[in-house]
Structure 1
Amino acid sequence: MKKIKVAALPRLLIEEGAFKKLPGIIASSGYGRVGIIHGRTVWNRWGDDLCREFNTLDIDFLDAGVSGEPSPRVVDDIVTAWADEKPELILAVGGGSVMDAAKAAAAMLAESGSGGTKSVKEFLEGVGSMTPSGTTLPLYAVPTTAGTGSEATKNAVLSEIGGFKKSLRHDNYVPKLALIDPLLAVDAPLGITVAAGLDAITQLIESFISTGAGPFTDSLAVSGLVAAGRALPALLQNPENVNARAKMGYAAYLSGVCLANAGLGMIHGAASPIGAAREIPHGLVCGLLLSGTIRRILMRARAQEQRVLVRKIEKAAEALNSDIDQLPELLDGWLEDSGLPGFGEYGFTEDELRVLAGETDMKNSPVLFREKEIAEIFLERI
């Protein structure tokens, strides 16, 4: 039997209304000072109630808002502001970008010699020259979108537009608690909902067919795809469907567990250089590239008689309520129904996309594409 090694996982709670229980959970855990990193929209709706409850429980708190893809500067500013009165716990309430910023801030507030004197940039893979020690403040993660699965992973992705999109990573950075309350997501715009959902589906499919896949991740990936295959169409019809929001939250969480243990493929290998070149939502990049990539992987697998790979794609299609040959069209339909834009609307040119194709990492892809083939996938979505 193939070796199975499972990365650390957070304590998980998925429940409608669970967010209201959070102050009590924090108080019972013995934390008296909390640093809250949040998305601005969700904070406008839910922040007052949370802070009021913290005051009732005599829990001190600091807060910082994050919008867009987080940069090292955003993290450094939070660390500097909180260095003199460090919180005992970091609470992340928001989408994947908030989770990334919170993980990085929690690590840098605890990193020896940091506290505002060293930039997180110095610890990023492929950018800085320092290796993180793994010391970190405990982190509770409360996602308000269902996409990245960052609430289940050990890495924080930071970027500088025109420069890089890289990770701060350590096993100790996995959140202590992932609390998923579907009520926090019901107000998310349709475009964000679908882009996030396609990110989760991409991660589930890529980890399922990854060269690093195994029986543990395979079972979770299929379970996540079944949930997403029912939830995303329901949300396209009614974004306020709370049960569908919960299912997408479950699918996104599993996508994080799967990527942490099986790795991802070409789509995420492309998302890094594309995301570094322009300020474009990560989930949108995944959604734009998913159908074209799956179509070509299936063609190659059939041509090379890779029966195991073909059968896996067939299982993924079945989980999503599709026939294997109709899977790319199903994915395209979800993208089109949401009205999400292509690369051209973010300023990408054909020449630029061809250059970015050459910077794409194949990672754990079961099929290795030539640069020209990758460029063709990109250009289909301009």
Structure 2
Amino acid sequence: MTKRSVLLAAAAIMLAPAVPASAQGNELVLYCSVQEEWCRAMSEAFQRETGINVLMTRRSSGETYAQIAAESGQPRGDVWWGGTGDPHLQAAQEGLTEEYRSDMLAELQPWALQQAETSGYRTVGIYAGGLGFGYNTDLVTENPPACWADLLDARFEDDVQVANPNSSGTSYTMLATLVQLMGEEEAFEYLTQLHGNISQYTQSGSAPIRAAATGETAIGIVFMHDAVAQTVTGAPIVTVAPCEGTGYEVGSMSIIAGGPNPDAARAFYDWALTPAAQELGATANSFQIPSNVNSVTPDAAPRLEDVNLIDYDFALYGSSEERTRLLQRWDAEIGSLPQ
């Protein structure tokens, strides 16, 4: 583990709730990295259908990766469900998650299977969604932003929010996307300029669009389905797929190596890949594209075929070495800038 990973892990273990000794047998310890409402819907449905008691903790992707790394000597969790695929791939590479080949694999989309194959079947794709941003139409009334370049406009000074890529898989996806789209030097030049318009680097990836929905900021950089979720609830948010092109996530699921309840973990894994389980997302105002080909995609979900997607290199940018290197550079060159 790198020095940086150790520091993150140490921070996570101080925050980690103790899992009771009773969390064995007919129980499942679930680490969840989507929004709270979807986490609860999954936990409650699985518990209701199987009788297995679920102990669920919700944290962002980066925080959950750090917690699992911190607990690797004595794992407390069984399944990590949701969140961007890059930290799941890093966890797989570092042996923090274990191989499992579900019988449900035959029903999955090609991009979900590719995630499994890339990781040696230590993780699997459960949903997909494109990266973009949303703006508040009450605050942006003329010349709305349509491209990454537009976010550098001086009129948006201190009026853009994005998450910190150390804690947020959404923001790391943005970092990796810009590097692939522009080239690394140009991407960091862009991020340096964008910093002048950033009012806050949030901990959660979806927090920026919630802030935009309430008028706290004009623009939130998020996955497009998170922006759509605000629009559906009546917020004055318009969702944008950047004109230059953009990346996307393959939200993933992994079984934690050495977890206390392996049978319950495999049962949840199989269940979470079924159409019925995947369609719970829409009931929690989550509009990602599900990975099971038989799942109904929510009508409001942004379609990937309508977005100018880059050929995102999940294997490279999900690797421990590259992810650690890019985050260290972000810390040194962007995170250290005064606000």
- Asked if TM exceeds 0.5, the reply is no
The structure whose Rg is larger is 1
What TM-score, normalized by structure 2, do the two folds share?
0.32
Q: TM-score, normalised by structure 1?
A: 0.29
